Structure 1
Amino acid sequence: MINQFRSLNPVNLIFLVVIAIILRTGVLLRLPDSSSFSLLESYTGLLINIPEDLFTPFSSVFYATVVVLIQAILLNRIVNNYNLLGKPSFMPALLYVTATALLEPFIVLNPVLIANFLVLWMIEKFMSIYRREKVLSVLFDLGMIVAAGTLIYFPFIAMLPLLWISLIIFRPFNWREWVAGLTGFITICFFVMTVYYLNGSLNDFFKTVPLVKAFHPGFHVNPYDYIVLIPVLLILVSSAFTIWHKFYRSNVHVRKAYFILLFLLLFSILSFSLSIEYEIYHFLLAIPALAIFMSHFFLNATKRWFYESVYLLLAAFIIYFQFV
Structure 2
Amino acid sequence: MTGTFKQKNSGNTLVLLVYGLILKFSIFLRPQGPLVQPDDDHFLYKWLIGFLEPLHLWPGVYSLIAFLLLYSQALLLNRVCNAQKMMARPNYLVAMSYMLITSLFPDWNYFSAPLLINSLLIWLFYRLNTLYNASKPGSVVFNAGLIMGFITLLYQPAIVFVFFLMLAVFIVRPFRIKEWLIGLLGVTAPYYFIGLVLYLTNQWDWKKLQPDISFSLPPMPDSIFITISLGLLVLPFIIGGFFVQNNLSKMFIQVRKSWSLLLVCLVTSTLIILINGGTNYVNWSLCAVPLAVFHGAAWFYPQGKLIPSIMHWLIFGYAMYLNYWLPA
- Distance in 2 between the 1:141 and 1:108 partners? 28
Q: Structure 1 counterpart of 2:33, which letter? A: S
Offset at residue 94 of structure 1 (A): 0.8
Q: Residues 278 and 208 of structure 1: is their aligned pair in 2 closer, same or farther, counting only changes over 3 Å?
A: farther
User: Aligned residue for 2:152?
Assistant: 150
- Is 1:122 equivalent to 2:124 in the alignment? yes
TM-score, with structure 1 as normaliser: 0.91
Find the counterpart in structure 2 of residue 194 from structure 1.
196
Q: Which string of whole-angstrom CA distances, capped at 9 and with x for unpartnered residues, describes residues 211-250 of structure 1?
A: 3533125424213131133333221121122111112222
Provide the C-alpha distance between the structure 2 equivalents of 1:44 and 1:163, rounded to a whole number of angstroms: 20
User: What residue is the counterpart of 1:63 in the other structure?
Assistant: 65
Tell me, yes or no, if the aligned pair for 1:36 and 1:55 is still in contact at 8 Å: no
Partner of 2:274: 273
Runs of 4+ in 1 over 6 A off after TM superposition: none
**1:277 to partner: Cα distance:** 4.3
**1:43 positional shift:** 2.7
- 1:216 equivalent in structure 2: 216
Q: Does 1:5 align with 2:8?
A: no
* CA–CA separation in structure 1 for the residues paired with 2:19 and 2:45: 36
Is residue 2:30 matched to residue 1:21? no
Change (3 A) 1:294 1:217: closer
Provide the residue aligned with 1:254 in structure 2: 255
SS of corresponding position for 1:260 = helix
Deviation larger for 104-113 or 270-279:
270-279
Q: How does 1:37-116 map to 2 (within 5 A)?
A: 37-38=35-36, 41=41, 43-44=43-44, 48=48, 49-52=50-53, 54-116=56-118
**Native 8 Å contact 2:218 2:273 kept in 1:** no
Which has the higher mean CA deviation after the structures are superposed, 167-176 or 6-15? 167-176
Between the aligned residues of both structures, percent identity stands at 23
Q: How does 1:220-259 map to 2 (within 5 A)?
A: 220-226=220-226, 227-259=228-260
Q: For residue 107 of structure 1, report the CA deviation from its aligned partner.
A: 1.2
Question: 2:33 matched to 1:35?
Answer: yes
Residues 42 and 211 of structure 2 are in contact (CA less than 8 Å); yes or no, is this contact kept in structure 1? no
State the 1:24 CA deviation: 1.6
Question: Once the 2 structures are TM-superposed, how far is the Cα of residue 71 of structure 1 from its aligned partner?
Answer: 1.1
CA drift of 1:6 comes to 0.6
Tell me how far apart the structure 2 counterparts of residues 142 and 274 of structure 1 sit (CA, whole Å).
Answer: 23
1:94 is paired with a residue of what secondary structure? helix
Task: Report how far residue 281 of structure 1 moved.
Answer: 1.6
Q: Distance in 1 between matches of 2:25 and 2:53?
A: 25
Structure 2 counterpart of 1:110, one-letter code: S
CA distance in structure 1 between the partners assigned to 2:119 and 2:214 by the alignment: 28
- Residues 7, 89 of structure 1: 8 Å contact kept: yes
How many equivalent pairs are there? 320
TM-score, length basis structure 2: 0.90
Quick one: distance in 1 between partners of 2:239 and 2:214?
A: 36
Name stretches of at least 5 consecutive residues in structure 1 with no aligned partner: none
Q: CA deviation at 1:44?
A: 3.1
Q: Give the letter for the 1:233 counterpart.
A: V
Distance 2:57 2:229 in 1: 28
Deviations 1:155-201 (A, max 9, x none): 22211112221222121122211111011111111111111111222
Pick closer, same or farther for the CA change 1:110–1:184 going to 2, 3 Å. same
Distance 1:197 1:45, change over 3 A: farther
Q: Match for 1:161: what amino acid? A: F
